[in-house]
């Protein structure tokens, strides 16, 4: 099986992070989470593989990585010292696959713009683009169908297409094109459901078992190529 680095961003679908993490483990993978600060509004990091802190369950930083682990002690005025680990590089070295689920609209925009202002986007910016990454978007229907989403996914396709010209396509066709033509990138598209805001439409995170199946396919494909 594989080492999966699960990026969790600030979509309401981040409530699925504990279940996704558990199913990755159940499938035989090793899994660590790197969560944005917004993501922790939707799930409790201390609920995943907690450690005991004075009799109280506490977050295990080996299982759930937050921005404070990337810049430890910054709020207290501490500074980096030569020889300290650079966490986003250590995470990149550890992982076989980068899975971002849910991928929210904000993080998608950061990724294609090259912004790296949190631990997760630093991992993305430092990622070896020949290695597998799986993206499972989740956002409101109007956000998913916004013209900017097509533009951003087109830019992502250009990054991952090994220099092939990327055609101008509607959103659903562009997702299919990326999955067929970008060797290291797989997109698990959102599904139609009643969303947390009450709207019914396309944008909900794919089911957890569908995401795990995508991980398993990617692992099998990677191992067959070795």
Write down the pTM of the prediction: 0.94
DSSP state of 12: G
pLDDT tens track, the chain, 226 positions? 899 999 999 999 999 999 999 999 999 999 999 999 999 999 999 999 889 878 788 999 999 999 999 887 666 666 667 766 789 999 999 999 999 999 999 999 999 999 999 999 999 999 999 999 999 999 999 999 999 999 999 999 999 987 678 999 999 999 999 999 999 999 999 999 888 888 888 999 999 999 999 999 999 988 888 7
What is the arrangement of strands in the sheet containing 3-8, beginning at the earlier edge strand? 64-65, 30-35, 3-8, 97-103, 133-137, 185-187
Alpha-carbon separation of residue 55 from 27, 44, 58, 123 (angstroms): 31, 17, 9, 33
Residue 53, classified by CB atoms within 10 Å of its CB into exposed (0-12), middle (13-18) or buried (19+), is exposed
- Give the span between the Cα atoms of 36 and 42, in whole angstroms: 11
- Number of domains comprising the chain: 1
- What is the domain range of residue 45? 3-225
197 catalytic? Reply is yes
CB 65 within 8 A of CB 119: yes
DSSP state of 145: T
Question: One of 119, 122, 182, 197 is an active-site residue; which one?
Answer: 197
Q: Among the residues of 11-146, which ranges form H helices?
A: 17-26, 67-70, 87-94, 105-113, 119-126, 141-144
- Give the span between the Cα atoms of 20 and 99, in whole angstroms: 11
DSSP state of 140: -
Instruction: Identify the CA nearest to 103 among candidates 224, 183, 214, 1.
Output: 214
The helix/strand/coil state of 190 is coil
CB 29 within 8 A of CB 57: no
CB 3 within 8 A of CB 96: yes
CATH number of the domain within which 17 lies: 3.40.50.1950
């Amino acid at each position: 099986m594989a080492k999966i680095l699960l990026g969790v961003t600030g979509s309401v679908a981040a409530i699925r992070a504990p279940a996704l993490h558990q199913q990755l483990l159940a499938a035989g993978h090793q899994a660590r989470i790197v969560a944005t600060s917004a993501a922790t509004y939707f799930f409790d990091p201390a609920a995943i593989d907690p450690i005991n802190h004075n009799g109280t369950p506490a977050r295990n930083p080996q299982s759930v990585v937050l921005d404070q682990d990337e810049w430890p002690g910054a709020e207290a005025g501490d500074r980096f010292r030569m020889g300290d680990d650079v966490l986003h590089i250590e995470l990149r070295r550890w992982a076989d696959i980068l899975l971002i689920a849910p991928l929210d609209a904000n993080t998608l925009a950061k990724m294609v713009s090259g912004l790296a202002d949190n631990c997760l986007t630093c991992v993305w910016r430092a990622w070896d683009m020949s290695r597998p990454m799986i993206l499972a978007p989740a956002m409101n229907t109007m956000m998913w169908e916004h013209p900017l989403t097509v533009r951003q996914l087109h830019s992502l396709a250009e990054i991952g297409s090994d220099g092939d010209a990327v055609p101008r396509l509607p959103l659903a066709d562009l997702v299919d094109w990326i999955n067929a033509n970008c060797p290291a990138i797989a997109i698990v598209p959102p599904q139609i459901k009643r969303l947390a805001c009450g709207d019914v439409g396309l944008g909900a995170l794919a089911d957890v078992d569908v995401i795990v199946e995508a991980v398993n396919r990617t692992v099998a494909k990677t191992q067959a190529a070795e």
